[in-house]
Amino acid sequence: MNKGTAIVGFFLSFVAGLFLMWGVERSKNPSITAEPTAKGGLDHSAAAVPVSAKDPQWGNADAPVTIVEISDFECPFCSRVGPTMKQIKDTYGADKVRIVWKHNPLPFHKAARGAHEASQVVFALGGSDAFWKFHDLAFANQKELNDANYEKWAGQSGVDVAKFKAEYASKKHAAKVDEDLATGKKVGANGTPNFRVNGVEVSGAQPFDAFKKVIDEQLAEAQKLVAAGTKKGEVYVALTNKNAKTPPPAAAQPDKPQAPPEDTTVWAVPVFKDDPVKGPADALVTVVIWSDFQCPFCKKVEPTIAELVKTYGNDLRVVWKDNALPFHPRAKPAATLARVAYDAKGDKGFWDAHEALFESHPKLEDADLEAVAKKLGLEWTKVKAAIDANKYESKIAASMEQAQDVNAGGTPHFFINGIRLSGAQPVDAFKKVVDAQLAKAKGLVAGGTPRAKVYEEILKTGKGMDKKDVPAPGKDSPSKGGANAKVVLQLFSDFQCPFCGRVEPTLTELNKIYGDKLKIVWRDLPLAFHADAPLAAEAAREAYEQKGNAGFWKFHDRLFEEQKSADGVKRPTLEKIAQEMGLDMAKFKNALDTRKHKAKVDADAALAQKVGITGTPASVVNGYYLSGAQPIDKFRRIVDRAMKEAGVPVPAAAPAGAAPAPAAPKPIAQ
């Protein structure tokens, strides 16, 4: 071997060694190997807008441009920016742009907080890929943010639902939401959506071109830094810290998105005899508050309510209703103590307990409640016995279910002569509504309405429980129960949806309880992300055509049985079920091949979209709407109400905690 050959051989070996070392380093360093949906990446917590592995991310960790999206799942403006984010991903790709999510649930979006905590749980269990799936589902169903849907979306995002439920209930990931809120406040992100592109602010749901201008500028700046020797993984910190010190000119700052328009809907919120009340029965303005003794926002608003009482005197009445949220484990024991005080000492006893409990907040363990009881002159043994026995479960549950009737999902939630005001708003926000309602009430009095009848008069035109105007089903809709029943439950469902499977035993039980007094009708709503659901729906329709209702429900039951099998509800399963049921296989296969029943399935889905139903399962009982795989008590409460309204005798053993449901609730003079 000559000397030149030896040198070349050494050089090639050296280069090969470098590549081998680089390959090993790639396996260790997530900043080099980060995938578009990777959970972690470089630690950029030193940046003015910090980013770490705790943040859901899309894109490579060392991408030259990072867009930090500070957003709110309940904000309508945030949902509008989704297509723009997709366009950015498609245009620049994961090597050039990284998108990082930061939580910013606004205080007047009461459902948002739970959605954000749920999404962080999904991220912790399934990484960024699962998070973005949950993110898309939440924005696609923005008006249906609730715990039942969070569980459903977690499962659809690939997360173990049991683990999700446990971690969500534990509140262990709530701290990350608080951390992001603090970050947003620190960087001045007061509205949503708000973006920082390498630290440069882009505010609101801006069009693609507005983002493109900033991204292109930052790509050029990043290229200069890298050319000057800055490592790719250090570009984000360098540029963000630089840009944070040099904010863009005011002209480049678009207006912040405004809060949603004021809701002027009047809601029919009845006052019952056993609702604690402060103020005269003939007050011109009634403020109904759904609150929770463990909720920090509820405590925060208390001075505001006290100021209103002082300002308006005998023209104002305050009514308390419990909404002991399930993730506040000490809310119900505290509410029970307040109820004991109410039973013992009337309204004054309740409000004294109410004040003492909020003074003690957040200390609401048994020892703290015992101290409150002694302060109020209540016998602790009786209070503890009431807590242990859930003595007031019926009243508290009824109050919480009444909150659902008027879509009061979070706390604190107010209705001022039926006008909704959500969250711990400043006193001026309350006064604005109170003043308007006071003027309206005085007008009624001037027109001859007695002061004591003002609230009742206002409620006459109020809106009640959430309803959907779904027309009566035709003869071509599969059904069971009483063919001519006056109460009809129309179920919008999807054979591939696991939550739809969970509601089936409840429907079976309802069928047993109500018999021919209730008609249960199937409506198809195969969701877009369930690829096998449309054909499964068509197959069940063919079973219905061949063997009527009996054939449909048998096929229906088998589909839900097979849902978790290896083939799920794919075509081989459909044909296997049809064969086992003895269907005419030639007709069955032809129906699937020609999509014979597609029009019927599409018609049901179109109807759902028309009335605002976007998720499954969804039930409509004589117009009353219930979303998700709810427990049987919630179904029974609605069915019983519909039966009373239809003049149908209700079976014995009404569900515990059912709230009174008169056709037109009237306030009770206190």
pLDDT per position as a tens digit, 334-381: 999 999 999 999 999 999 999 999 999 999 999 999 999 999 999 999
The reply to whether 345 falls in a domain is yes
The reply to whether 112 falls in a domain is yes
The reply to whether 615 falls in a domain is yes
The reply to whether 167 falls in a domain is yes
Considering the domain architecture, whether residues 232 and 332 belong to the same structural domain is answered as no
Q: What is the mean pLDDT of the segment spanning 315-344?
A: 94
* Peptide bond preceding 362 in cis form (omega within 30 of 0): yes
Choose the weakest-confidence range: 16-30, 79-93, 124-138, 598-612.
16-30
Residue 11 has pLDDT above 50, yes or no: no
The reply to whether 12 falls in a domain is no
The C-alpha atoms of residue 89 and residue 66 are separated, in whole angstroms, by 12
The C-alpha atoms of residue 233 and residue 225 are separated, in whole angstroms, by 11
What value does the mean pLDDT of the chain take? 86
Question: Which residues does 664 contact at the CB level (< 8 Å), separation at least 6?
Answer: 268, 459, 460
The reply to whether 193 falls in a domain is yes
The reply to whether 667 falls in a domain is no
The C-alpha atoms of residue 262 and residue 1 are separated, in whole angstroms, by 87
Strands 316-322 and 285-291: parallel
Q: What is the mean pLDDT of the segment spanning 439-457?
A: 95
Considering the domain architecture, whether residues 234 and 283 belong to the same structural domain is answered as no
Considering the domain architecture, whether residues 335 and 289 belong to the same structural domain is answered as yes
Residue 386 has pLDDT above 80, yes or no: yes
Angle, helix 427-446 to helix 296-312, in steps of 10 degrees = 40
Considering the domain architecture, whether residues 234 and 97 belong to the same structural domain is answered as yes
Considering the domain architecture, whether residues 335 and 296 belong to the same structural domain is answered as yes
Considering the domain architecture, whether residues 529 and 573 belong to the same structural domain is answered as yes
Residue 15 has pLDDT above 90, yes or no: no
Considering the domain architecture, whether residues 92 and 226 belong to the same structural domain is answered as yes
The C-alpha atoms of residue 171 and residue 556 are separated, in whole angstroms, by 38
Instruction: Write the pLDDT tens digit of every residue in 632-658.
Output: 888 998 898 899 889 999 886 544 333
Domain carrying residue 52: 26-252
Considering the domain architecture, whether residues 245 and 288 belong to the same structural domain is answered as no
The reply to whether 664 falls in a domain is no
Considering the domain architecture, whether residues 402 and 546 belong to the same structural domain is answered as no
Considering the domain architecture, whether residues 284 and 332 belong to the same structural domain is answered as yes
Considering the domain architecture, whether residues 419 and 490 belong to the same structural domain is answered as no
CATH number reported for the structural domain that contains residue 585 in this entry: 3.40.30.10
The C-alpha atoms of residue 122 and residue 158 are separated, in whole angstroms, by 9
CA atoms within 13 A on the CB side of 511: 16
Considering the domain architecture, whether residues 492 and 453 belong to the same structural domain is answered as no
Question: Residue 340: what are its φ and ψ, rounded to 5°?
Answer: -60, -45
How many distinct structural domains can be found in the chain? 3
Count of CB atoms within 10 A of residue 386's CB?
A: 17
Confidence of residue 465 (pLDDT cuts 50, 70, 90): low
Q: What is the pLDDT of residue 258?
A: 43
Give whole-number Cα distances, 5 to 11, 12, 16, 350, in Å: 10, 11, 16, 96
